[in-house]
Amino acid sequence: MKLFAALRKIREFERSQLPFLKSIIDFDIVIELGYAEEQHQPLTLKQVFLLNLSSRTTVRRRLAKLIEQGIVRRRKNANDQRSSLLTISSSHLKTFGVYGGTLTSICASISK
């Protein structure tokens, strides 16, 4: 498969399966939350701000939208009741698993 054919296929998947990711900031937030969750270190809102993905206002607004849509879950921190931990919902984790598999297969077909 040629490079731009592969990129086109990736974008088609993103449009059909990940329509809730409206911007690069949304994508960055989800990736950082998912990565932290994989490391068994879910992030708090303050930690997300410290990543400097964008301005605090933009991150707060985009994160609120992701929570409202059910992509990101907010739960109380068992160790510190004053803060909340942010994680990706289980149904969307499955979708991102499929996305990862799709990327892997497309990348493998490019290198042939």
CATH number at 46 reads 1.10.10.10
Query: By the 8 A CB rule, do 50 and 89 touch?
Result: no
Q: Which residues contact 46 (CB under 8 A, 6 or more apart)?
A: 83
Answer whether residue 2 is part of any domain.
no
> DSSP per residue over 54-93, as a string?
S-HHHHHHHHHHHHHTTSEEEEE-SS-TTSEEEEE-HHHH
Query: How many domains does the structure of the chain reveal?
Result: 1
In a domain, 38, yes or no: yes
The average confidence (pLDDT) of the chain is 93
Instruction: Say if CB 27 and CB 76 are below 8 A apart.
Output: no
Residue 27 placed within a domain: yes
The predicted structure's pLDDT at residue 81: 84
Domain contains 4: no
Residue 106 resides in a domain: no
pLDDT at 93: 93
Q: Write out the residue range of the structural domain in which residue 43 sits.
A: 23-100
What is the rounded average pLDDT of the residues 38-53?
Answer: 95
Query: Residue 93: inside a domain, yes or no?
Result: yes
Q: What is the pLDDT of residue 47?
A: 95
Over residues 52-105, the pLDDT tens digits come to 999 999 999 999 999 999 999 999 988 888 889 999 999 999 999 999 999 999
Considering the entire predicted model, what is its pTM? 0.88
Note the pLDDT of residue 112.
64
Quick check: is 90 in a domain? yes
In a domain? residue 12: no
Please report, for residues 86, 102, 103, 109, the alpha-carbon distance to residue 67 in angstroms, rounded to integers and kept in the order given.
Answer: 9, 25, 25, 35
